[in-house]
Amino acid sequence: MSLCYLEIKVDLPLSQNIKDKRGILKSLISRVSSKFNVSIAEISLHDYWKSSLIGIAIVANDGKFFDPMVETIIFFIESSYPNIIISIENREIL
């Protein structure tokens, strides 16, 4: 069994306050979690309304599964939320 841990920095340039940020992140987290069956949560930058750090954990029997899965998740986020900017901060495969 293998584990992939991914940290994604999300920049929200159109967010005007914490309430806007929470609404966007709640939607993003629930959609990614239900579509890809991964564990996902906001892990840092809670008090900043323009950015956030999201952690994603993926468990699989085969480590070869992670690369296409991560690319699919990134593509899904970028296409579903065109007004946000994401960058991968950390990626570990255990």
∠44-26-16 over CA atoms, to 5°? Answer: 75
Q: What 3-state DSSP class applies to 61? A: coil
C-alpha 38/C-alpha 35 separation (Å) is 8
> Could you tell me the pLDDT band of residue 42, with boundaries at 50, 70 and 90?
very high
Q: What 3-state DSSP class applies to 38? A: coil
CATH 3.30.429.10 fits 2-93, yes or no: no
Beta strands in the chain (DSSP E): 2-11, 39-44, 51-60, 85-93
Residue-wise pLDDT for 25-37, tens only, equals: 999 999 999 999 9
C-alpha 81/C-alpha 75 separation (Å) is 10
Q: Would you say the pTM of this structure is higher than 0.85? A: yes
Residue-wise pLDDT for 54-93, tens only, equals: 999 999 888 788 889 999 999 999 999 888 888 888 888 8
pLDDT mean over 41-57: 91
